[in-house]
């Protein structure tokens, strides 16, 4: 355990760190966990890949966690945001962005974790952005004296990740607005629908996450110092700004949707108006051509009647004149 073990992402233990009281940081492999699991002279963070059978087995059988905690950490179906207080810590289900986020509603992932005074045990099924930011911060020299201090930074990263997504969505909304003004309605309708779905899902995750994490800042645990409690509260309040931005985006997307529908309706009304005008103009022309096309006796111009050699041109002239006459009557009425 004295050396540094590089653990590639995607294995059973994605990353493991033990931050000793003297400031030393030790990176852990899966086999090192047993050696530091019971130590109380530092901060332990273990981050697991739930796709791994070995990781799931450790969480269920070897972690020493309460069965209720293990059940929540291993649950593959319930992704609702929650934070449950236990005798000596918290178990939480939080939302984070997939590392390869592509602005799809399904790209909002789930981070599950347990925290007490000496350790944080977290797990996920898909690479997540906020956790990766915390991991990079540790690799770049960040140090934490308590688990609550580390958790406050993680909460801050979660809020920043969601805020970055909200800022990117805002740029996407600007693009959709330009597309609507350019009257490319089919493209705008498709993209705006995706954006609205993403915004709704973001709001559905941010709002309860803010409420849940607020309880973290009012924990009252002995191992959470006043400074750490203030730090946690400050990190949690970042979600208020994110929620405000998401709600503003939701209102703006709704306005754009209304504008799109109004413009499409105007375009359809214009098309129907043109069709109605054309129909009115051609109605007498059609009537005349229909009358002279009847196969009955007595129709002017039929063979055997005087002047039949020019009757066709008289009929054509009558058709044109009727159309011009209808157009003359329609022009003042626009």
Of 322 and 90, the one with more pLDDT: 90
The count of other CB atoms within 10 Å of the CB of residue 324 is 12
Which pLDDT score, from 0 to 100, does residue 48 have? 94
Q: Binning pLDDT at 50, 70 and 90, where does residue 294 land? A: low
Separation of alpha carbons 172 and 187, rounded Å? 13
Q: For 106-140, what is each residue's pLDDT tens digit?
A: 678 889 999 988 899 999 988 898 999 999 999 88
Residue 307: pLDDT over 60:
no
Q: For 155-166, what is each residue's pLDDT tens digit?
A: 999 999 888 888
Residue 311: pLDDT over 60:
yes
Percent of the chain with pLDDT over 70: 85
* Phi–psi pair at 272, nearest 5 degrees: -65, -35
Which pLDDT score, from 0 to 100, does residue 297 have? 52
pTM of the predicted structure, to 2 decimals: 0.73
State the helix-helix crossing angle for 147-181 and 226-292, rounded to 10 degrees.
20
Percent of the chain with pLDDT over 90: 14
Domains of the chain: 13-263 (3.30.460.20), 270-333 (no CATH)
Angle at 224 between CA 220 and CA 229, to 5 degrees: 80
Find out whether 99 and 125 touch, Cβ atoms under 8 Å: no
Q: What is the mean pLDDT of residues 284-311?
A: 62
Q: Which of 10-14, 97-101, 265-269, 298-302 has the lowest mean pLDDT?
A: 298-302
82-106 b/e (C-beta count within 10 Å ≥ 16 → b) = ebeeeeebbbbbbbbbbbebeeeee
Which pLDDT score, from 0 to 100, does residue 301 have? 59
Residue 4: pLDDT over 60:
no
SS3 labels along 135-202: HHHHHCCCCCCCHHHHHHHHHHHHHHHHHHHHHHHHHHHHHHHHHHHCCCHHHHHHHHHHHHHHHHHH
Q: For 241-275, what is each residue's pLDDT tens digit?
A: 888 998 999 899 899 888 888 888 888 888 887 88
Angle at 37 between CA 57 and CA 214, to 5 degrees: 85
Sheet containing 108-116: order of strands = 25-27, 13-20, 42-49, 119-124, 108-116, 89-97, 82-85
Which pLDDT score, from 0 to 100, does residue 65 have? 87
Which pLDDT score, from 0 to 100, does residue 291 have? 66
């Amino acid at each position: 355990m004295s050396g540094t073990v590089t653990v590639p992402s995607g294995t059973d233990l994605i990353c493991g760190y033990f931050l000793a009281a003297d400031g030393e940081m030790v990176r852990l492999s899966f086999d090192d966990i047993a050696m530091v699991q019971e130590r109380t002279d530092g901060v332990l963070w273990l981050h697991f890949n739930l796709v791994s059978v070995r990781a799931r087995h450790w969480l269920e059988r070897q972690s020493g966690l309460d069965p209720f905690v293990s059940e929540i950490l291993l649950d593959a179906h319930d992704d609702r945001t929650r934070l449950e207080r236990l005798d000596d810590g918290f178990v939480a289900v939080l939302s984070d962005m997939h590392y390869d986020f592509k602005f799809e509603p399904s790209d909002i992932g789930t981070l599950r974790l347990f925290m007490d005074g000496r350790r944080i045990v977290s797990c996920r099924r898909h690479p997540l952005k906020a956790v990766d930011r915390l991991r990079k911060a540790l690799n770049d020299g960040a140090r934490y004296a308590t688990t609550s201090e580390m958790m406050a930074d993680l909460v801050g990263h979660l809020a920043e990740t969601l805020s970055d997504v909200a800022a990117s969505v805002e740029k996407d909304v600007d693009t959709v607005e330009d597309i609507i003004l350019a009257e490319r309605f089919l493209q705008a309708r498709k993209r705006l629908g995706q954006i609205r779905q993403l915004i709704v899902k973001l709001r559905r995750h941010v709002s309860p996450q803010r409420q849940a994490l607020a309880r973290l800042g009012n924990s009252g645990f002995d191992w959470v110092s006043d400074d750490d409690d203030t730090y946690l509260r400050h990190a949690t309040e970042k979600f208020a700004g994110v929620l405000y931005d998401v709600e503003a985006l939701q209102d703006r997307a709704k306005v754009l949707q209304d504008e799109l529908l109004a413009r499409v309706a105007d375009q359809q009304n214009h098309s129907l108006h043109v069709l109605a005008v054309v129909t009115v103009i051609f109605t007498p022309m059609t009537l005349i051509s229909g009358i002279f096309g009847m196969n009955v006796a007595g129709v002017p111009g039929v063979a055997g009647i005087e002047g039949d050699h020019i009757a066709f041109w008289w009929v054509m002239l009558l058709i044109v004149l009727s159309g011009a006459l209808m157009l003359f009557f329609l022009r003042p009425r626009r």
